[in-house]
Amino acid sequence: MHTTSSRLAAIATVLAAGAALAGLAVRGLYVDAPNWVQQAQGTDLATLLLAVPVLVAGMWTASRGSAGGRLAVVAGLLYLVYNYAIFAFSVAMNPLTIVHIAIFGLALWSLLLGGRSAVEGAEAVTERLNRRTAGGLLVGVAAMFGLLWVGQIASVATSGVLPPDLIKANISSNPVYTLDLGFFLPLCAIAGIGLLRRNGTAAFAFPMLVWVPLMGAGVVGGIVLMALAGDQTAVPVAVVITALGVVSSILAGVAVVRPRAGAAHVRPTSHPTSRPAHQEG
């Protein structure tokens, strides 16, 4: 990745680790409705335990020339942009608000400066993906959540009644609708279709396969915290999201460890003029 982009990504990662740790450890930091606090802390858990390690490992391997590492950094930055946009716009102002805005800005600028170069030359990773399964999963994720969010928006528009999730969180509009429908779900669909059709947009497939479980972990973390507080209504949703995340992680992991097609090891042959050692002398 571009040097400036890498530096911005490193700073964003350090700030994200600190902000997530503070969100979990500092009592009363979040002043939102309990449900919204639980969702924020679920994201903090996923950031600290998954997103930050993915970014650190990605940056380390990318510095050694790994295409997979570069793509993992793109996935981690997409995660930071997504979640810290929500923190910046929809979490009540608190002592970490300026840090949340900084993480959002740093991650976004890192992507703008280095994202294109990171996905260029990604064929070595992309060609190792199971195209049908991975492409189908990404398109399925885009379709499933797209229809879900459009259905909820249509319900509010026709009935004037907010979905139960928004009522519990005490928010009148869900930032997830905008982020998902405006950018992230279309990117999932574009990447998935690119895999299925074997065109250039398939380069985004690996980052999105990593992004899906990262995002899912944050959602599941929030649901677990809600369940511990006595609200178990979303537990079935957590099961579905966990399953999607596990499958997506396996598909991405296989692409990292699977040998590249045509790269089978060829046993070296001796030079035709050489003689076995025991015949020399």
Whether 253 shows a pLDDT value over 80: the answer reads yes
* Contact present, 36 and 95 (Cβ < 8 Å): no
Residue 135 belongs to domain spanning: 3-258
Q: What is the pLDDT of residue 123?
A: 83
Q: What is the pLDDT of residue 269?
A: 41
What's the per-residue H, E or C state across the chain? Answer: CCHHHHHHHHHHHHHHHHHHHHHHHCCCCCCCCHHHHHHHHHHHHHHHHHHHHHHHHHHHHHCCCCHHHHHHHHHHHHHHHHHHHHHHHHCCCCCCHHHHHHHHHHHHHHHHHHHHHHHCCCHHHHCCCCHHHHHHHHHHHHHHHHHHHHHHHHHHHHHCCCCHHHHHHCCCCCHHHHHHHHHHHHHHHHHHHHHHHCCHHHHHHHHHHHHHHHHHHHHHHHHHHHHHCCCCCCHHHHHHHHHHHHHHHHHHHHHHHCCCCCCCCCCCCCCCCCCCHHHCC
| 278 in a structural domain | no
| 269 in a structural domain | no
> How many domains, the chain?
1
| 264 in a structural domain | no
| 212 in a structural domain | yes
Residue 2: burial class (beta carbons within 10 Å; 0-12, 13-18, 19+): middle
Average pLDDT value for the chain? 90
Q: Which of 224, 220, 227, 222 is nearest to 245 (CA)?
A: 220
| 273 in a structural domain | no
Alpha carbon distance 108, 134 (integer Å): 26
**Model-level pTM?**
0.89
Q: What is the pLDDT of residue 2?
A: 67
Alpha carbon distance 8, 13 (integer Å): 9
Q: Which of 95, 68, 70, 101 is nearest to 83 (CA)?
A: 101
| 65 in a structural domain | yes
What is the mean pLDDT of the segment spanning 259-272?
45
Q: What is the pLDDT of residue 122?
A: 77
Whether 277 shows a pLDDT value over 50: the answer reads no
| 267 in a structural domain | no
278: Cα within 13 Å, side-chain hemisphere: 0
Q: Which of 49 and 1 is assigned the larger pLDDT?
A: 49
Q: Quick: pLDDT tens for 133-150.
A: 999 999 999 999 999 999
CA distances for 234 relative to 34, 218, 219, 228, angstroms: 15, 14, 10, 12
- Token pair, residue 52, equals 């930050």
